Structure 1
């Protein structure tokens, strides 16, 4: 069960900083969700020690997963077999694409972990999910598989001098 963070309004962060810090320190998750008005995305204020702990857990988990995947073909096959549990949408992918996703995921997890940046992992998962969406739609898949005329290289857009 995930620990929920207390919430404060963005204005409380500047108008009542002592109260906000107290809520942060008393929070079991050592974090506070800072609600922003309108379409602005909420923020999460977290202690430096909690951020370091989360980074260590992610790094350790990634290193363990990469080591397991590099250990043997049986492990890679097992991970491929259990992928639908973690990512149900992979059921729409052909088996060879699921394997390709697993290999690419391990490579990107390792590289992203070395940077301390999860964005490439999120991007990869998003791209493969979109591929699964195409496979899930027979009409779209048929259109994309249809042979078409190659119209050649697409020219670069012209710069707007206005």
Structure 2
């Protein structure tokens, strides 16, 4: 959820009443910080509603992917609607992505922290990008034959060879 209005953090500090009044007509305020990551200011009720909605969506996803009869439909219809790039994944990898997404969503929901989900999705998106590019796919799947030996520790002198 990205708030509709953005103000500089200094506006909150210097004009706190008028800045906070923006919450009356907006779901939140994005506070831009020059020397750090932006912040979002919203009401507790809106925040808790957002968290409950995300949690419900995770549980819905988990339930759908656990149903054997629905698994193929979820893969073929729902995932490409949410993540169009899954069409580049071979069928077995689509199933693996769905299973990992459901498992991680369940685990994340159980601790109330979904921060690992974007990392998983990004990793699978990169995998899809590799499958989408035949040259890159061929290079990354090339057999190189012999092992090239140990890699020295960073900063260690290279062995004479």
> The residue matched to 1:119 in structure 2 has which SS?
coil
Q: Pick from 25, 28, 48 the counterpart of residue 27 of structure 1.
A: 25
Q: Pick from 112, 115, 120 the counterpart of residue 119 of structure 1.
A: 115
> The residue matched to 2:148 in structure 1 has which SS?
coil
In structure 2, C-alpha distance between the alignment counterparts of 1:153 and 1:80, rounded to whole Å: 41
What residue is the counterpart of 2:6 in the other structure? 7
In structure 2, C-alpha distance between the alignment counterparts of 1:79 and 1:154, rounded to whole Å: 44
In structure 2, C-alpha distance between the alignment counterparts of 1:105 and 1:43, rounded to whole Å: 27
Checking the alignment, whether the CA contact within 8 Å between 2:59 and 2:106 is kept in structure 1 is yes
Taking structure 1 as the reference length, the TM-score comes to 0.84
What residue is the counterpart of 1:108 in the other structure? 104
Could you list the per-position Cα deviations for residues 123-144 of structure 1 after superposition, in whole angstroms to 9, with x for gaps in the alignment? 0000000011111111111111
What residue is the counterpart of 1:129 in the other structure? 125
In structure 1, C-alpha distance between the alignment counterparts of 2:2 and 2:29, rounded to whole Å: 11
What is the Cα-based RMSD across aligned positions, in Å?
A: 2.2
Q: Identify unmatched segments of 5+ residues in structure 1.
A: none
In structure 2, C-alpha distance between the alignment counterparts of 1:94 and 1:4, rounded to whole Å: 37
- Following superposition, the deviation at residue 10 of structure 1 comes to 1.3
What residue is the counterpart of 1:49 in the other structure? 45
> The residue matched to 1:151 in structure 2 has which SS?
coil
**Residue 75 in structure 1 maps to residue 79 in structure 2:** no
> The residue matched to 2:147 in structure 1 has which SS?
coil
In structure 2, C-alpha distance between the alignment counterparts of 1:151 and 1:68, rounded to whole Å: 46
In structure 2, C-alpha distance between the alignment counterparts of 1:113 and 1:153, rounded to whole Å: 41
Q: Which moved more, 1:126-135 or 1:2-11?
A: 2-11
